[in-house]
Amino acid sequence: MELTWVAVLASLMMAAAAACVFIFAVKKDYFRNIEDAKYQVFWSDLEEGSLPPAAAQEKHDEGGSAKSR
């Protein structure tokens, strides 16, 4: 029975910690522009300004190369 109370208290403490983190994030305005999060994966590709070598080669081949597939 004692272990049950420990588990209940631990879960309540974790819930309180999660609520505190959420309140902190809202106050610090971390949820201001949530739509940009899904595009962050592609920002590094856009900053480089070039295609990966394999993609650049495929694009070159499609553009008029005499290679047959």
Give tens-digit pLDDT for 4-56.
999 999 999 999 999 999 999 999 988 887 777 777 777 766 665 555 555 55
Is residue 29 within 8 A of residue 37, CB to CB? The reply is: no
* Spatial CB neighbours of 56, under 8 Å, sequence gap ≥ 6: 50
pTM for the predicted model, two decimal places: 0.49
Predicted local distance difference test score (pLDDT) of residue 69: 45
Predicted local distance difference test score (pLDDT) of residue 17: 98
Predicted local distance difference test score (pLDDT) of residue 42: 75
Sole residue written with tokens 């610090």: 28
C-alpha 13/C-alpha 48 separation (Å) is 45
